[in-house]
């Protein structure tokens, strides 16, 4: 294509003019071209380049708007935005994309066992009411499931890449760089070099939103002087704990939180306005359920360091499957921790006072892990 374009240009721009000159002036009037002027000295060339750059720099601001900035030598370039993103910004972008999608799947209402037949006529179906009309609250509930259906695609969606890299920075204090794939993702608890493998197997981008929200909302909660979430993350890297994958565990806890929302075990917590924030925020309630599981897991690891973390995860799954009573107990412990931590003396919080409380939670020993625990990456 390039050679064809070049030949067309030479025929159009040069050929006809040469013939015309020969017709008008003849071969005897041909004048050889003048030799090019001598190049300026190196000092003159450098001086002129600097002068041109300053002139460009003076005129460039009139050519740009809020999305542009002046680069080296007065070049107008697109402004480079900061790559961090908040959970609120991510949720707004994602929910707008979901609302605009005409092909999003329908959310099927949960039907509890034994909900059919004569007994179901007299049994009131649990509902979310704290957001006002039931339809509004249920729409907020369904949106949580829609977010879980969104696959993590960093190459196609910039905000996907931004939120995961924000989480990486908040947990590690370092920058992951510009790549979407790399060994560095294993540092925050993915099983391989590509986070899509773990995220898109279950819960999609919902896990990312909930983890970043947990980091943001609970930055004031301290354990031994360190933020709660960072303390849990550092625990995953302690040699004595044999290591456990933080983000993979977060995926599993997100799944359990969604189960609690779907079977209505979480409705009471949301309806009674026990979120510590605006009443009726369903997503916040699901986020608190994630935090409650991390708190329980963190306590079990600290109090029973000799037990493999897969057994602790199995114990939490057993409790989450225990219905509304068990979920309510987990949420009550989380609320107590969230509201009663001594911020003036955070170093006093070492969890030794919780040993007796945790020991009475269950007298049954969880089954030993067999291979990889589903959804938890262990």
- The Cα 354–Cα 303 span in angstroms is 8
Measure the CA angle with vertex 336, ends 334 and 337; round to 5°.
Answer: 65
Radius of gyration for the chain, computed over Cα atoms and rounded to the nearest angstrom: 32
Write down the pLDDT at residue 223.
83
- CA 3 from chain centre, in angstroms, equals 48
What the block records as the tokens of 285 is: 């309630």
Condensed to tens digits (0 to 9), the pLDDT of residues 57-78 reads 444 444 555 555 444 444 554 4
- The Cα 250–Cα 163 span in angstroms is 15
Q: Report helix, strand or coil for 155.
A: coil
- The Cα 271–Cα 346 span in angstroms is 31
pLDDT bracket for residue 39 (50, 70, 90): low
Write down the pLDDT at residue 224.
77
DSSP calls for 233-277:
HHHTT-GGGT---HHHHHHHHHHHHHHHHHTTTTHHHHHTT-SSS
Q: Which residue has the higher pLDDT, 237 or 26?
A: 237
Model confidence, pTM: 0.68
Handedness of CA 52, 54, 57, 60 (dihedral sign): negative
Contact 272, 313 (CB under 8 A): no
Q: Are strands 68-70 and 76-78 parallel, antiparallel or unpaired?
A: antiparallel
Q: Which of 76-80, 187-191, 252-256, 281-285 has the lowest mean pLDDT?
A: 76-80
Write down the pLDDT at residue 374.
40
Return the top range by mean pLDDT from 142-151, 235-244, 300-309. 142-151
Contact 311, 370 (CB under 8 A): no
Report in angstroms the alpha-carbon separations of 269 from 138, 145, 276, 286: 15, 18, 11, 10
Q: Report helix, strand or coil for 226.
A: strand
- The Cα 340–Cα 269 span in angstroms is 18
Write down the pLDDT at residue 128.
82
DSSP calls for 283-338:
HHHHHHHHHHHHHHHHHHHHH-TTS-HHHHHHHHHHHHTT-HHHHHHHHHHHHHHH
The stretch 41-48 carries a mean pLDDT of: 60
Q: Which residue has the higher pLDDT, 248 or 14?
A: 248
Q: At what angle do helices 282-303 and 246-262 cross, to 10 degrees?
A: 130
What the block records as the tokens of 116 is: 């059919």
Condensed to tens digits (0 to 9), the pLDDT of residues 178-201 reads 889 999 999 999 999 999 999 999
- The Cα 271–Cα 326 span in angstroms is 17
Q: Which residue has the higher pLDDT, 39 or 229?
A: 229
Q: Report helix, strand or coil for 1.
A: coil
């Amino acid at each position: 294509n390039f050679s064809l374009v070049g030949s067309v240009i030479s025929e159009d721009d040069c050929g006809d003019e040469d013939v015309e000159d020969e017709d008008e002036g003849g071969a005897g009037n041909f004048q050889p071209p003048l030799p090019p002027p001598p190049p300026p000295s190196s000092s003159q060339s450098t001086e002129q380049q600097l002068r041109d750059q300053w002139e460009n720099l003076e005129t460039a601001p009139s050519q740009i708007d809020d999305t542009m900035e002046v680069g080296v030598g007065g070049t107008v370039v697109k402004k480079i935005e900061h790559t961090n993103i908040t959970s609120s910004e991510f949720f707004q972008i994602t929910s707008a994309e979901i609302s605009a999608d005409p092909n999003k799947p329908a959310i099927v209402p949960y039907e509890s066992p034994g909900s059919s037949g004569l007994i179901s006529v007299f049994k009131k179906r649990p509902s979310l009411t704290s957001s006002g009309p039931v339809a509004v609250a249920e729409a907020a509930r369904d949106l949580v499931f829609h977010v879980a259906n969104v696959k993590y695609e960093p190459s196609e969606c910039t905000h996907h890449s931004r939120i995961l890299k924000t989480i990486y920075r908040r947990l590690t204090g370092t920058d992951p760089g510009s790549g979407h794939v790399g060994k560095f993702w294993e540092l925050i608890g993915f099983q391989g070099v590509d986070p899509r493998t773990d995220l898109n197997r279950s819960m999609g981008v919902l896990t990312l939103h909930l983890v970043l929200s947990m980091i943001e909302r609970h930055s004031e909660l301290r354990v031994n002087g360190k933020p709660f979430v960072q303390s849990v993350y550092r625990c995953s890297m302690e040699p004595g704990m044999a290591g456990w994958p933080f983000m993979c565990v977060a995926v599993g806890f997100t799944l359990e939180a969604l189960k609690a929302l779907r079977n209505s075990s979480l409705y009471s917590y949301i309806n009674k306005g026990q979120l510590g924030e605006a009443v009726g925020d369903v997503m916040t309630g699901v986020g608190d359920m994630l935090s409650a599981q991390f708190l329980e897991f963190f306590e079990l690891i600290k109090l029973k360091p000799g037990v493999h973390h897969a057994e602790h995860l199995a114990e939490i799954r057993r409790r989450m499957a225990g219905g509304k009573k068990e979920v309510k107990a987990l949420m009550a412990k989380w609320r107590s921790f969230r509201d009663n931590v001594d911020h003036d003396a955070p170093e006093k919080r070492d969890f030794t006072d919780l040993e007796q409380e945790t020991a009475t939670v269950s007298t049954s020993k969880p089954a030993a892990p067999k291979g990889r625990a589903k959804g938890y990456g262990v």
